[in-house]
A and B are shown apart, each in its own frame.
Chain A
Amino acid sequence: MTTQQAPSRGRVAATLWRRPWLRGLLTLSPPLLWFLVIYFVSLVVMLITAFWSVNPLTNALQHTWSLDNFRQIFTGTYLSIIGRTILLAAVVTITDIVIAFPIAFYMARVAGPRARSILFTLSVLPLWASYLARVYAWIVILQKGGALSWTTQKLGLGPVDIGYTNIAMWIVFSYIWLPYMITPIFGALERIPDSYLEASSDLGARGRRTLRHVILPLALPGVAAGSIFTFSLTLGDFITPILIGGTGSSFIGNVIYSNIGVAGNLPFAAALSVVPIVIMIVYLVGARAVGAFEDVT
């Protein structure tokens, strides 16, 4: 680059050009500072309190270090709550993959451009209708004497009451997060060049084989990216279990919430939070191995 005398504007530009590390620093420091100071420090401070306890009357923190909180988590009921949460999160994720894949496939590879745009709008629109309202609407459908029961009775199948059960939670969770699964799968499928599919059929593979050996592997990063959403959102949710769940529907999030939002026991809630944090980090590492972060949508 030229080093001749340049007007001051040019000098700043030239300095930045010659020192890429300076550019990098300037670019990255605002967001990184935000994350470090606001997000990570808060997380760390909260996790430190997991080793403390609270005064029973005033809820003031007592800085007495111990592992009592952690010991309590890995016992009986808490373990079963954790297990139930993970299981339902996994089932919801699989359900959403199964539901979303065909529609994403249709949108990406079969529909014409106009239909694709309309379908995409339609699959994203529900996100604007308030999570709370949509969950609450399911109560009308699933409760005793609700719309579902009314329909099954009209079909001669007798009344059905799945309100406030884990089945209801499964249905509602799968419903709520569905748009988050459709979008990344759609993105991944859309990016597959037509030439790949033509090559595959030129080499003699018929539809199903191409699907299994070409399309599915290429769609995997999108599936993994979507699964991060559905898994993590289900793992941490506490509102749907309150609104839709019955007995035996408590999630990790509910126990955290009742210990912090209600009982003011920050140390125990913080200790409980370690569980979903560890689970999600493991999940993220796995998703990265599968390529979820390569072309994230």
Chain B
Amino acid sequence: MTRHSRVLGVLGAIALATSFTACGGSGSSSSGNSNGGGGGGGTSALKAPMQDAKLPSKIGAGEGKLNLIAWEGYAQPQWVKPFEKQSGCKVSAKYAGSSSEMVSLMKDGGGGQYDLVSASGDADLRLIYSGDVRPVNVKLLPQWKNLQPFLKSPDFNTIDGKHYGISYEFGPNVLLYNTKTFSKAPTSWSAIYDKKYSGKVTVPNNPIQIADAALYLSKSKPNLGIKDPYELNQKQFNAAVSLLKKQRPLIKKYWDLASQEINLFQSNATVVGAAWPYQTNTLRAAKVPVSDTIPKEGATGWADTWMLASKAPHPNCAYKWINWVSTPKVQAQQAIYFGETPANKLACPEMDKIAKGSCAQYHANEPASYFDSIKFWKTPLPQCGNGKNDCVPFAKWQNAWTQITG
């Protein structure tokens, strides 16, 4: 975002404002078709502002502090405390519940405030192309070579050979259900659209949910021709929105905070819903009878990268953190805690050490086919991968979502 001169008076503001030239339309990226979210192939028209930023040649002394923007559950004391002791960097985490929130917090290169953000695929490209994140030197990150091959340079965080952070973990959005209500795991996402559970359903309060509806429709109404739930033409988009409008009377609450969904299930106010595995794990730890599953239509999901802010005030601590959370042990701890899959190949044995069978449960060493089966979050853009430009952009998703939930 270009920086404007200081605004002095009302008249000065107006005068300045009218003197600005229009920033021009969105010469934005095409959305490629890679499942890794974002797709970088067709972004030839765009230049990443920070791509020529100087890379450090070594990690210096820690600055004593580290400011993270993270998903709830990504900065737990069990791996934060040892890190603080070992590096001397005191960690402070600001939680965000959606990619859009993260992008918003990270504006202006993190505003000179934040060092790292655990951004998902749909936030990554937006951050890269607004110059809010800078490339990292993977030579300083010894665990990078141990990452799964498909996560070393995925097109949601690596542009033109520059790595804007390293892949962290990934996982699916699951169907969470009460085991007392469902004697067997539901096999289809139709469970959250079923009138039988009216008033007892919950889904995230996030416009990206439209993609989940589209994913369900891609299998239940194949004649709509939905291939990518994030690239929807107007007809497909309207179908998804209309499905969600029909779902609305069934919803008890659209959850904004992970703790809300946890509360809804533990008080038995809801019996089925869309969730992150984090909620399942927290509820099971509190002995609430729930379980989760990935229904036959598949799942949307997130693939997270720790990205370095362009104006990070504590870059050395940031590099230390990335190194720390990429080690097999911490990868294992995070994976089990949140219920996701680690990017580090060597995490699997560590996971089984902590919780037997967890490596297989969270698909830790499965080949790329598992990764490709998840429809990772991607920023919906007008440019569809099929060469056409008639897909619905995210601003319209936001608007439609307000109409659905309002």
Residues of A participating in the B interface, judged by any CB pair closer than 8 Å: 40-41, 44-45, 48, 54-64, 72, 76-78, 80-81, 139, 143-146, 161, 163-164, 242-243, 245-248, 250, 255, 258-265
A58 close to B269 (CB less than 8 A): no
Chain B residues lying within 8 Å of A261, measured Cβ to Cβ, are 101, 104
Q: Judge whether B76 is part of the interface by a CB distance below 8 angstroms.
A: no
Least CB distance from A274 to B in Å reads 17
Partner pick for B2 among A60, A78, A144, A164, CB 8 A cutoff? A60
Given A164-B253, A263-B398, also A250-B23 (CB < 8 A): no
Q: Contacts A41-B7, A78-B402, A265-B395 hold; do A64 and B126 have CB atoms under 8 A apart?
A: no
- Taking a contact as CB atoms under 8 Å apart, the answer to whether A60 and B269 are in contact is no
- Which chain B residue shows the least CB distance to A60? B1
Residue B9 lies at the interface, judged by CB distance under 8 Å to chain A: yes
Most buried by A among B17, B254, B263, B402: B402
Tell me how far the C-beta of B386 lies from the nearest C-beta in chain A, rounded to whole angstroms.
19
CA distance A245 to B252 in the complex (A): 10
With a cutoff of 8 Å between Cβ atoms, the chain A residues found around residue B26 in the complex are 55-57
Q: Is the CB of B398 within 8 A of A265?
A: yes
The list of the 5 closest CB pairs from A to B, nearest first, reads A58-B130, A57-B28, A77-B406, A77-B403, A262-B100
Of A57, A139, A245, A248, the most chain B CB neighbours within 10 A belong to A57
- Chain A residues whose C-beta falls within 8 Å of the C-beta of B394 in the assembled complex: 56, 263
Q: Report yes or no: B267 in contact with A163, Cβ–Cβ below 8 A.
A: yes
Enumerate chain B interface residues (CB-CB to A < 8 A). 1-2, 7-10, 13-14, 17, 20-26, 28-29, 46, 98, 100-101, 103-104, 107, 125-126, 129-130, 207, 248, 251-254, 256-257, 260, 263-264, 267-269, 379, 381-382, 393-395, 398-399, 402-403, 405-406
Chain B hits for A78, CB < 8 A: 402, 406
A264–B104 CB distance below 8 A: yes
A57 touches B2 (CB 8 A): no
Q: How far is the CB of A289 from chain B (nearest CB, A)?
A: 28
| B402 engages A250 (CB within 8 Å) | yes
CA distance A168 to B91 in the complex (A): 37
Q: Which residues of A contact B28 (CB under 8 A)?
A: 55-58
Q: Are B267 and A146 in contact (CB under 8 A)?
A: yes
- Assess whether B403 is in contact with A45, with CB atoms less than 8 Å apart: no
On whether the beta carbons of B406 and A260 are closer than 8 Å, the reply is no
- Are A263 and B104 within 8 A (Cβ)? yes
- CA–CA, A289 to B107, complex, Å? 44
Whether A40 pairs with B10 at a CB distance below 8 angstroms is yes
Set of chain B residues within 8 Å of A77, measured between Cβ atoms: 402-403, 406
CB distance from B185 to the nearest CB of A (A): 24
Given contacts A58-B1, A143-B263, A261-B104, contact A63 B21 (CB under 8 A): yes
Residues in B with CB closer than 8 Å to A246 are 252-253
Q: With the chains together, A60 CA to B302 CA distance in Å?
A: 24
A64 to B406, Cβ gap below 8 A? no
Contact of B104 among A44, A62, A243, A260 (CB under 8 A): A260
User: Which residue of A is nearest B23, CB measured?
Assistant: A62
- Cβ B17 vs Cβ A161 within 8 A: no
Besides A80-B406, A263-B207, 8 new A-B residue pairs in contact (Cβ under 8 A), listed by A number: A48-B14, A57-B28, A60-B1, A60-B23, A72-B399, A243-B260, A245-B253, A263-B394
Minimal beta-carbon separation of A129 from chain B (angstroms): 20
A48, A163, A247 pick with most chain B CB within 10 angstroms: A247
> A45 contacts B395, CB within 8 Å?
no
- A59-B103 contact, Cβ under 8 Å, with A44-B13, A45-B7: yes
**What residue of chain B has the Cβ atom nearest to residue A163's Cβ?**
B269
Chain A residue with the shortest CB-CB distance to B256 = A242
- Contact, CB under 8 Å: A57 / B103: no
Say which residue of B252, B256, B264, B406 sits within 8 Å of A81 (CB atoms): B406
Is there contact, CB below 8 Å, between B10 and A44?
yes
Are A259 and B398 closer than 8 Å at their CB atoms?
Answer: yes
Would you call B7 and A264 a contact (CB within 8 A)?
no
Docked Cα-Cα span, A60 to B127, in Å, equals 11
Please give me the residue from chain B that is nearest to A261 by CB atom: B104
A173 to B232, CA, bound (A): 40
Contact A262 B402, beta carbon cutoff 8 Å:
no
Decide if A247 touches B253 in the complex (CB within 8 Å). Answer: yes
* Bound-state Cα–Cα, A260 to B107, Å: 12
Cβ of B100: which chain A residues have Cβ within 8 Å of it? 262-264
Which residue of chain B lies nearest to A264 when distances are taken between CB atoms in the complex? B104
Closest residue of A by beta carbon distance from B13: A45
Whether the pair A145, B268 counts as a contact (CB closer than 8 A) is: yes
Q: Which residues of A contact B23 (CB under 8 A)?
A: 55, 60-63
List chain A residues, Cβ under 8 A from B268.
144-145
Residues of B within 8 A of A40 (CB): 10
Expressed in whole angstroms, the minimum distance between the Cβ of A123 and any Cβ of chain B is 30
Are B406 and A255 in contact, CB atoms less than 8 angstroms apart? Answer: yes
**Contact present for A41 and B269 (CB under 8 Å):** no
Task: Give CA–CA (A260, B399) in the complex, Å.
Answer: 13
Q: Which residue of A lies closest to B103 (CB)?
A: A264
List chain A residues, Cβ under 8 A from B257.
242
Pairwise interchain contact B398-A164, C-beta atoms closer than 8 A:
no
CB distance from A231 to the nearest CB of B (A): 21
- Nearest chain-B residue to A64 (Cβ)? B22
Cα A61 to Cα B16 with chains together (Å):
14
A41 in contact with B405 (CB, 8 Å): no
Least distance between A106 CB and chain B CB atoms (Å):
38
- Which residues on A sit within 8 Å (CB–CB) of B399? 72
Q: How far is the CA of A78 from the CA of B251 in the complex (A)?
A: 20
Contact of A144 among B25, B103, B267, B398 (CB under 8 A): B267
> Complex formed: what's the CA distance from A263 to B8 in Å?
28
Complex interface: chain B residues within 8 A of A259 (CB): 398
A-side contacts of B263, CB under 8 Å: 139, 143
Q: Is the CB of B130 within 8 A of A59?
A: yes
Q: Is the CB of A262 within 8 A of B101?
A: yes
Chain A residues, CB < 8 A from B104 = 59, 260-264
Q: What residues on B are CB-neighbors of A81 within 8 Å?
A: 402, 406
